[in-house]
Structure 1
């Protein structure tokens, strides 16, 4: 899995980082700020490997209410730029971002 994270610089959404692998993504998401992650996930099947894209809306447990509200307002603008999304995951729990759980959600999307 390859991923990019997006965070806030003032009121602007900017690229915060990039990486490879499920293991490294949760560590790139802070406890006190909202962020977004766009992930490329390769799903092996019997015949081939299918590539799917996941948009994660992250709101850390320590995020202030005002910053939490920005996610619902700003996510549509991000989705206008990132158009190829198989599923969206909204979470504040790093346990939701394991390889098995993300692949299971992508497979259940029947996309």
Structure 2
């Protein structure tokens, strides 16, 4: 028989150590790393990429993906350079309803590790 099972969202797990290491890398003054991106491998959140240059950061976020980004930005001018750290939640336009709904609880797991930031959410329609 071909029963329709209810689509239950499986619990999310997170690679705490690697994500914390990437976070500290972005924050470090001694590191070239300007950003880190965290994505889902199945129900597991992992650090999928790290790097520099904003363009490369932008390329990380696909239409059918959910992701989190952490990036260091230089604000101000030569006289008063200030660094801002931005935490970004990405939900691509092709992401389904169930995964979209899970984003707030999944985000809480990441924010448990990424503690210093300005926050922004991108829902691209």
Q: For this structure pair, what is the TM-score category when the shorter chain's length is used for normalisation?
A: 0.7 to 0.9
| Deviation (angstroms), 1:19 | 2.0
1:91 corresponds to:
122
Tell me, yes or no, if structure 1 residue 8 matches structure 2 residue 40.
yes
Q: How big is the alpha-carbon RMSD for the aligned residues of Structure 1 and Structure 2? A: 1.6
- How many residue pairs match? The answer is 92
Q: TM-score, normalised by structure 1?
A: 0.75
1:68 corresponds to:
100
Q: TM-score, normalised by structure 2?
A: 0.67
2:87 corresponds to:
55
Higher-Rg member (1/2):
2
1:100 corresponds to:
none
- Moved beyond 3 Å, runs of 4+: none
1:105 corresponds to:
none
Structure 1, gaps ≥5 residues long? 94-111
